[in-house]
Each structure stands twice: as C-alpha cells, then as structure tokens.
Structure 1
C-alpha cells in the first residue's frame, strides 16, 4: 500500500501524484472498528469488481485535536497503526489529508471539486452519517449532487452488533471501564498500543519481576488503570506478558503520570530503545495500594499466573 500525504491546496497540484480512476472510502476512521471496516471493505470490493484502484482518504491530525472541541482524549488507532490495518485489508493507496484551520474552512463544494474530483474519484464510499465541509454542512445527498455525473456515491448502513451501532465513542467508554472483551468485539481485534522501552525506576528487577517501561509512540486513548494480560509483538516474536497501567500507589503518593510497565513471561534480556506493540487482551484487576512489598510481590505472582492462563 502506498501512503500519500496531501496538503490542501499545494500538493494537489504536484506532478508526483499519479492519478488514476479510483474508488475512494472517505472518513476519519479513528477507531478502525467493525463499522469503519464495513465502509472500507465495500470500497475494496467495488474497486476489484470495476478494475479500479482501491483508496482511502483520512484526515490527520484528528479534527477534534486541531479545533480543540469535544471530548478528544487521544487516538484509538493512530496513523501508523491505521496504515498497517488498511494494508492488510487490501487498500492500494491511503491519502492522508493534513487537517488544519485552513482546511476546516473548506465548503462542501470546494471539498468535492478541488479535492475529490481532481483525484479521479469515480465512486465515493461513505458511512451513513458522513459529513463534510465547513461545520459539517455537507451530507451524503449533497455529495451525490456535487458529484453529478462524474462521481457516484455508495452509502454503507450502520454496522450493528447485538442490535447496537458500533461507534468510536462507545469503544472509548468500554476502554475507560476496562471492558476489554467488549472493546475487542467492537474493534474486531484487541486494543493495542506501541511504545519504546525506556529506563524506569528499575524497581521491578529488585523484587523479581523486571518490567519494560513504555514511552508511547502516539497519543493513545488510555484505558482504565489496572493490570492487564497482554500479548507483546517484538520484532518477529510473539510474547506473553502482564502489564500494569497506573501510578504505582504502593510506592508513590499522588501526582505521578500513569506509566505502562510490561513484565514478559517468556523473555529474558534487555529491551531498552526497542519498540514493542502491546495488545491488551484481558483486564485482570484494578490498581491498588498494598500494605507491604511482600503483599505486592505475592499479588504480582498471582497476576502473572492469571495472565499465563488467560493467554494460553
């Protein structure tokens, strides 16, 4: 899959853009959940049936982050993760449009005539609640009208799970409550984060449970504080682990920034400066303060056994 970064209007005039007729799925697609997948896979299917290029258009940074509106608390699926998932879905080209103040002012007419049509969009595929243009003035019907005879529009209905519409906002709520099984069902995969291993307090090794302290690569949505059974991807290895997300109240009073610490069950060695991708598979328990170090060690040992059982 090729990723093309677009800045309106400058890079649209670039000779490096090899334009060819394409089917284009359009959306923020932050969650890359089952609802988003239904839109994207519809575009891929239509592209294969018509012999055109299968493309996706998304926007970065997230509009809520730029406009400082709403309850934006980070990404469910940052751009790099989104690229990996889209490539696996069979998308040929990903257009990443820089979302800034200027772009936010585009009218629906400008969005279609200055962006979509010059990219040779023959079919636009959107979700049932798709909005575009300044203040969301454009909807699916306006998109059809503006495309006229140059661009058709396919609208994908809401994706229902157990009778409820799958949405990013509801997935965020599930993560905040530590409901990882439900979040995984709605995402279509376990929620994951990426991080680089950095030096921490090195307290874990002194109590027999060395941990990899992660500095996250992106502004992810932080799930509930607590202990998780995790799968860890390191280079070509798949490892099992137990992760603590929190402020380590046994050792700190308050005011500490939450940390992500992973104890690997199947690995020995140093991982400093290495990147790990961590899937949060099961929520084991909430973080809590222990009366003694021995009580903490006993609980960590039990958590590790629980993680091993859950991941077996």
Structure 2
C-alpha cells in the first residue's frame, strides 16, 4: 500500500498526484472498527469489480484535536496503526489529508471539485452519517449532486452488533470501563498500544517480577486503570504477559500520570529501547493499594497465573 500525505492546496498541484481512476472510501476512521471496515471493504470490492485502484482518504490530526472541540481523549487507532490495518484489508492507496484550520474552512463544493475530482475519484464510498465541508454542511446527497456525473456515490448502512450501531464513541466508553471483550468485538480485534521500553523505577525486578515500562509512541485513548492479560509483539516474537496500567498506589501517595508496565511470562531477556505492540486482551482486576509488599507479590503471582490461563 502506498501512503500519500496531502496538504491542501499545495500538494494537489503536484504532478506526482496524477493517478488512475479509483474508488475512494472517505472518513476519519478513528478506530477502524467493524463499521469503518464495512465502508472500506465495500470500496475494495467495488474497485476490484471495476478494475480500479482501491483508496482510502482520512484526516490527520483528528479534527477534534485541531479545533479543540468536544471531548477528545486520544486516538483509538493512530495513523501508523491505521496504515498497518488498511494494508491488510487490500487498500492500494491511503491519502492522509492534513487537517488544519484552513482546511476546516473548505466548502462542500471545494472539497469535491478541488480535492476529490482531481484525484480521479470515480466512486466515493461513505458511511450513512458522512458529513463534509465547513461545519459539516455537506452530506451524502450533496456529495452525489456535486459529483455531477463524474463521480458516483455508494452509501454504506450502519453496521449493527446485537442490534446496536457500532461507533467509536461507544468503544471508547467500553475501554474506560475495562470491558475489553466487548470492545474487541466491536473493533474486530483486541485494543492495542505501541510503546518503547524505557528505564523505570526498577522495583519489579527486586520483587521477582521485572517489568517493561512503556513510553507510548502516540496519544492513545487510556483505558480503565487496572491489570490486564496481554499479548505482546517484540520484533518477530509473540509473547504473553500481564500488564498494570495505573499510578502504583502501593508506592505512591500523590497522583501521577498512569504508566504502562508489562511483565512478560516465561521470558528473560534485555528489551530496553525496543518497541512493543501490546494487545489488551482481558481485564483482570482494578488497580488497588496493598497493605504490604508481600501482599502485592502474592497478588501479582495470582495475576500472572490468571493471565496465563486466559491467554492459553
């Protein structure tokens, strides 16, 4: 898959953007959940049937982050993760449009005539609730009208799971409650984060449970504080582990920023400065303060056994 970074209007004037006719799925697609996947896979299917390129257009940074409107608490699927998932779905080209205040002022007419049509978009594929242009003035009916015979529009209906529409906002709420099984069902995969292993307090090693302390690579949504059973990718290795996400109240009286600490099961190696991808598969328990170090060690031992059982 080829990724093309677009800045309006500068890069649209570049000769490099002359493309073959294409089918273009358009959306923010934060989460790339089952609803988003239904839109993108529809575009891939139409492209294959029409012998055209299958493309996706998304916007970065997230509009809420730029405009400072609404309750923005981080990404479900940052851009790098989005690229990896889309490549696996058969997408040929990913257009990443820089979202800034200037771009937010585009009218629906400009969006179509100065962005979509110059990319030789022959079919635009959107979700049922798609909005575009300044203040969301355009909808799928306006998109159809503005295509004016040069571009057709396919609208994908809502994706329902158990009779409820799959949405990013509800997935965020599930993560905040630690309901990982439900979140995984809606995402179509376990929620994951990436981070680089950094030096921490090194307390885990002294109590027999060394941990990899993560510095996250992106601004992810922070799920519920607590202990998780996790799968971990380190290079080409896939390992299992138990992760604590929280403020370590047994050792810290005052509040601190939540940290991600992963104890890898059946592993004894040096992984400082390496990048880990951590899938939060099951939520085991809430984070809590223990009366003694011995009580904490006993609980960590139990958590490790629970994680091993859940992931076996």
| TM-score (structure 2 length as normaliser) | 1.00
| In structure 2, distance between residues paired with 1:227 and 1:192 | 14
Give the secondary-structure state (helix, strand or coil) at the position aligned to 2:94.
strand
Name the SS for the 1:301 alignment partner.
helix
Counterpart CA distance in 1 for 2:40 and 2:118 is 21
Aligned to 1:199: 199
Following the alignment from structure 2 to structure 1, what is the Cα–Cα distance between the partners of residues 181 and 256? Answer: 28
What is the CA–CA distance in structure 1 between the aligned matches of 2:41 and 2:193, rounded to whole Å?
A: 24
1:267 deviates by 1.4
Matched with 2:169 is 169
**Alignment partners' CA distance in 1, 2:18 and 2:245:** 45
Aligned length: 312
**Is it true that 1:21 corresponds to 2:8 in the alignment?**
no
Secondary structure in structure 2 of the residue aligned to 1:267: coil
Measured after TM superposition, the shift of residue 311 of structure 1 is: 0.2
Q: Which residue of 1 aligns with 2:133?
A: 133
Cα deviation, residue 18, structure 1:
3.4
Q: What secondary structure, in the 3-state scheme, does the structure 2 residue paired with 1:58 have?
A: strand
| Equivalent in the alignment of 2:145 | 145
Q: CA deviation at 1:87?
A: 0.1
Indicate the residue corresponding to 1:281 in structure 2.
Answer: 281
Q: Quick one: distance in 2 between partners of 1:266 and 1:152? A: 55
Between the aligned partners of 1:185 and 1:227, the Cα distance in structure 2 is 20
SS of alignment partner, residue 215 of structure 2: strand
Q: Secondary structure at the match of 1:16?
A: helix
Name structure 1 gaps, 5 residues minimum: none
The equivalent of 1:87 in structure 2 is 87
CA distance, structure 1, for counterparts of residue 108 and residue 19 of structure 2 = 22
Cα deviation code 1:124-155 (max 9, x no counterpart): 00000000000000000000000010000000
Distance (Å, rounded) in 2 between the aligned partners of 1:270 and 1:18: 47
Report what 1:229 is aligned to.
Answer: 229
Matches within 5 A, 1:51-200: 51-200=51-200
Structure 1 residue 266: Cα displacement: 2.6
Residue deviations 1:155-194, cap 9 Å, x none? 0000000000000000000000000000000000000000
Deviation at 1:17, TM superposition (A): 1.7
Distance 2:271 2:74 in 1: 26
CA–CA distance in structure 1, aligned partners of residues 37 and 88 of structure 2: 11
Gaps spanning 5+ residues in structure 2: where?
Answer: none
**C-alpha separation in 2, matches of 1:261 and 1:148:** 55
1:300 CA displacement: 0.1
Cα deviation 1:73-97 (Å, max 9, x = unaligned): 0000000000000000000000000
Aligned to 2:258: 258
Q: Give the CA deviation at 1:10.
A: 0.1
CA distance in 1, matches of 2:147, 2:215: 45
- Secondary structure (helix, strand or coil) at the match of 2:84 reads helix
Per-residue CA deviation, residues 257-288 of structure 1 (Å, 9 max, x unaligned), is 11000000031111111000000000000000
What is the CA RMSD across the aligned residues, in angstroms? Answer: 0.4
Alpha-carbon deviation of 1:15? 1.4
TM-score by length of 1: 1.00
Counterpart CA distance in 1 for 2:309 and 2:19 is 52
Matched residues in 2 for 1:16 and 1:69: separation?
34
Instruction: State the match for 2:298 in structure 1.
Output: 298
Tell me the equivalent position of 1:31.
31
